[in-house]
Amino acid sequence: GALWALLLVRVVLRLFAARPDNWFVEALYAVSSPLVAPLAFLDAGQPRFGAVLELSTLALLVLIPVGYLLWQLVRRRTSGEGAE
């Protein structure tokens, strides 16, 4: 929940071109940058400044719930095997 909220705030700040010299924005980017770094190739064509729709962060916002649902599905299937 907290990770997803952090990434959602990052998307909104980038979309509205928040000033990176603001201490809150700078801290949020510093904390969330390692999370989006593996998918940074998705943002290669994005401008460095101004309003940006960060595809790497959006991908993580989709992958986190999907990963959680898959984990729950696998966990339920493996815990149900011993009961039969």
> What does the pLDDT average to over 28-54?
85
Residue-level pLDDT at 31: 94
DSSP secondary structure letter of residue 42 = G
Domain residue limits, the chain? 2-81
Question: What does the alpha-carbon distance between residue 35 and residue 7 come to, in Å, rounded to a whole number?
Answer: 9
Residue-level pLDDT at 45: 82
Residue-level pLDDT at 52: 80
Judge whether 35 and 60 are in contact, CB under 8 Å: yes
Give residue-wise pLDDT tens across range 43-77. 888 777 778 888 888 899 899 999 999 999 999 88
Residue-level pLDDT at 81: 63
Task: Kindly report the pTM of this predicted structure.
Answer: 0.71
